[in-house]
Structure 1
Amino acid sequence: MPTTAWLTPQFISRLETLELSVRWVRAGHKLGGRFPVNRRGSSVEFADYAPYSPGDDIRAIDWNLYARLERLFVKTYREEVALSVELIVDATASMMLPGSEKFEQANRLAVSLGYVGLTDGHHVRLSWVTPDRIAASPWFHQRSDLFRMVQQAAAARGGGSISLAEWMRRSASALRFHGGQAILITDGMVRPSDFFRALHVLMVRNLEIKVIQTLTPEELHPASLVLGGTLIDVETGATHQLAYHPAELESAVVEHNESLARFC
């Protein structure tokens, strides 16, 4: 049985007061979600006017406004849509170091955000970046799916190595990523070029992307652990001779993380 001690009633109540931050959306479903979108045409709640564009429904044109301004405007209306929320957890070998706690915390974060999405009325799916197969949960649609999400996360296994961009390409097709929001939880232990290509796969599929980087204190400040010697890449097996001054090592970590952040 997966441990659920961290899901206290108080913590769940706090999650229910939160909402996912969404700046834009290209695809949604009229299924009672709480994310408001302005659409041209008719709906329930009037929102604003927008300049007429070829292809707009002429029934939405406000002719009274045209009589005053001699310009065409259409009415836009506010409606609520349910988003598809993809929660993607990095499960490669680096997420298992220095122990399993980092991966466990990433899964708990994914479940927590998933529950926030369900509380907002959205559709949520969890998937894991693994080298051997595409590991993904079914879609979850309601609050009562919380403990099913916990079970799926508890069953996830980490390890191995795969290009993040390659996993995104494979999964975008197999899992049919299209529209909504994608939240990637990763330690960012990848080459920046691979990271950028991975996010580009999501961008071209009209997904709004958010990235959460999970690092241990030792990973943020590696000079406290190692100043020199031979390092072994846990994912590729490659060896690297290390002879850094502590300040140089700390600076390299900051520069790497900032290069990832600049693309997000």
Structure 2
Amino acid sequence: MIDAAFLDELDRFDGSLSQVTDARQRGEQRSTELGEGQRFADYRSYVPGDDTRLVDWKLYARTGERYVKQFEAERDLTVHVLLDASASMDVGGEETHKFDFAAKLGLGFCALAAAEHNDFRFSVFTDRFDRIDAGRSNRGEVLALIDRLNDVDPVGEADFDHALVEYAATIDSRSLVLVASDFLADVDDVEAGVEALARNDVVLAQVFAPEEVDPPTRGDTIFRGLERDLELRTYFGSPQRRTYAERLESHVEQVSQSARNVDARHVRVESDAEFFDAFARTWVE
């Protein structure tokens, strides 16, 4: 269960996103739409019907040519959180539960967005996404999200290609997107999903429980799949443990490379880590 008390300690973090997205102006981001905003963008030649208030008369006095100033409209930044709710996230003990830890990362992003009067959206996903916030983007909504997340039972299998591509189509302006997951799926599917989000500033938080990194089992063991109906009986000795560790590290590196391929940022965290240390690495680099 997620305890809301952790939100009180988020004040130590700068919520301005000044190091996170290059649209960054204390809760504002540039769009590509031109209008009467506050940021000068470019000049274009005057045409009849243009607002004469936008003519640069000083430039006209020097050149004899009439040019209209263009400005970039400014929009509030939107933070999007996509939280993996598949069965493989249901791992870990009461203090190290992987889904809860990943959820807290996402809640932290939302809390800091709300503190700066930015919008946030929070969704859980498996093969599809389900938006669970009510669109209020304030601290009260963050607290309500904790109650909703405490009722989520991670089940099913994640489909990154379908769910993330489907979600990307709903984003209508450049945003900050956090995907919190173990990413235990085909790397090509992960990359396809992340690539669909790539016009935004994307952070992949890859979360593992300690027993996944260092399985406590020894000797004759039966491994059962969490997302698929699979069972493997094997002897899990030192050679097998080394192979397991090597394959896990290889998969993490492949996910990290997939992130680099689309200019996303990848952060690996473990659910027994001190939360605010992990959050600091995830929030800014």
Letter matched to residue 23 of structure 1: D
- How far has the Cα of 1:240 moved from its partner? 5.5
Percent identity, aligned pairs only, is: 19
Within 5 A, what are the aligned runs for 1:219-234? 219-221=212-214, 225=217, 231-234=223-226
- The normalised TM-score by structure 2 is 0.68
SS of corresponding position for 2:5: coil
Could you say which residue in structure 2 is the equivalent of 1:211?
A: 204
Q: 2:163 aligns with which of 157, 162, 167?
A: 167
Aligned to 1:13: 11
1:118 aligned residue: 114
TM-score (norm 1): 0.72
Pairwise CA distance, 1:72? 9.3
Q: Structure 1 unaligned runs (5+)?
A: 26-31
Q: Give the length in aligned residue pairs.
A: 247
CA distance in 2, matches of 1:64, 1:241: 81
Displacement of 1:93 in angstroms is 1.0
State the alpha-carbon separation in 1 of the partners of residues 152 and 85 from structure 2: 8
- Segment of structure 1 superposing worse, 83-92 or 236-245: 236-245
Q: 1:64 to 1:178 in 2, by over 3 A?
A: same
Q: Deviations over 1:112-160 (max 9, x none)?
A: 1101111122211211113588352222323343322222222222122
Instruction: Check if 1:142 corresponds to 2:138.
Output: yes
Counterpart for residue 37 of structure 2: 43
- Describe the superposition over 1:46-102 as per-residue Cα deviations: whole angstroms up to 9, x where unpaired: x556465999x7965646447768999864657642123221111111111244611
Instruction: Find the counterpart in structure 2 of residue 23 from structure 1.
Output: 22
- Other-structure match for 2:81: 87
Alignment RMSD: 4.0
CA contact (8 A) 2:10 2:112 kept: no
Query: What is the distance in 1 between the residues matched to 2:56 and 2:219?
Result: 70
Residue in 1 that maps onto 2:272: none
State the SS of the aligned residue for 1:156. coil
Residue aligned with 1:5, SS: helix
Question: In 1, are the aligned partners of 2:158 and 2:185 still within 8 Å (CA)?
Answer: no
